[in-house]
Structure 1
């Protein structure tokens, strides 16, 4: 470990951190461009084979950027896609970004440091950074926004040059250090550990935009929200947000084990899709309609009415059923597509019943700050389950690739152990340690 990292872990004051030079290289989970074709013709794209953990060069710092010493990060499905080089190699996206020239050119390297979540300590600030200083404890939003793009000033996510940091850019969060724009920073809730804080920005922020914010479904009290994959990273936060907002959460899961988790977490209605004969989801629009009928009958039997909102990040396997099952005038809000991007549905149920489909992607900075405020208040709690060291990033990715996890899978980067980073113990006790750590009992290691 380098001198600066040791000082961060020792709690050195900001002036001391500022005096210690940045290391010339740092440890990072990364992909190699030379491996991009390694899975051609193979059925199992085992991400443990493509993910490497080793030293990479420290990049130069742009004026609007900061260097964060990363104490912890977490796994998102976009990193699984990156490591599978699917649907395309993300080196393509990084190279396209680099063609802008200037500081963007730094990103075009024969390696890509991945990871779209991080929590840590600011150790350098660029000359153009105004609101952040060395020593600040932060979380990193994955929204990599061009603040000189006019579209981003109405809503940062509408800027055409917006990117997903650590997926469409280099220097991501699964590393000892990361370089991010100041416009990505969110204050770390002081009652959370590093690994807890590192597990919230991408998924909780995305769920907030999809459900609560003005750019999504705008859920109101009493709304019934159908949540696919309700024990996943996005789904677990969505259940909390629906409950907190006075809505009725209908969680769909794939096993009795996951159904039991939802019972323990207080989900209002729990549906095991295997009990409805839905298998892995719809292959055709006709299948989607049939599954929608079965699902609708079950929801009406429980609640007496159809859902107002379908929260869908699963994609191909569920989208057509979402379109069918929401009520007249209802909303399907969608992001990602972990089962495939090519969605099929029967458009009659959309247009003739005046339903809406809203595409949603990450969250703008205001939405991220609003989400972090809910964590600080104790309205939202982490859904962290498994935690791996950085050296085992490949194993953590494989866990998510095979859908053997629930909640969020964390990765310790510079943090030597779990449980560090809490600076407000009173708030942690007030909110409740048992509540904050309630998802840890669902770790895969707890089920072995």
Structure 2
């Protein structure tokens, strides 16, 4: 099975799971508080940011410097492509879904081929599976920009790695015209070109990538008289915080003490922190025991060593079970924290094995995400950093047992997210 076929299979199977969750499971469930009763229609793929993209595609941009949220915060390339497809007679919900899904499919194919060139087939397949089955891959199917952004950013990174600077400049400009985090490609290309002492042409993609956002800024200046309109309205989309990083502190408290206790400002429900401490203590004991077994195993003859290795595997399953319990206890804050900070840890851990442009882009992207100190949608933006998926693919290729367990967990959460999105409940 070549890289194109494998990427297509991963894309198709994961999208089938999402469609079943949204069009079969969700309509059978009662409407949740604050949500809606989904119908078997294209409407399930449109919610939250999708409404803004629809307004842009059908009516254009609007903006006023009044401290309120306006659709000028959303970059233009995705709605422009959707508008082009709509000109063929398709309604917005169909056109938006088709554009994002096809782009996500293309991103998986490009990623699988690129990683196979640089790291081999095994790593390429794990990386592609990670990107396809990650719970936030839901946003590569609904009417959001994840699929398109992953396509352009992966194409730009791959072209730069191959020293195809013209193509890298084009794809980078399209990425920054799709979403604000695309600007992270610019310093990444600049740093790699300087560090590796590449030719003067290697600096072209860094300048061109900024051009995508620059053209949109110029449009805002001509249309609204404010070249930074898309930045000014960001404040309206983010909750106020008393200090930098308040959102991350809130997540830590929600994980360890519980959301209800955070909302009340004191420990009214002692069971959550007690269960959290118990799970962490058990996890530490399992880790210590496994470390001791591993150390003893290196000193034992082969027969006893294999028995100790089986015990290590069994304890690994115990650790996995404890993680599932922690997820059931803490919920979304745990997933969100892992996506961003766990992604950063993976980049640090695998930095010597990743391609220089991939690891540099990963750190630059995380810097863009963390710079406001806010947490809203940070986990979804971290998913859009393709370098994190490559780093996880490298890790799981070395530990395939954990890889299968990870994909199983991904699938479970993916179904949950798909149902919630169809019910118009917040996901990321």
What TM-score comes out, normalization by structure 2 length? 0.28
- Give the structure with the larger helix fraction: 2
What TM-score comes out, normalization by structure 1 length? 0.27
Larger Rg: 2
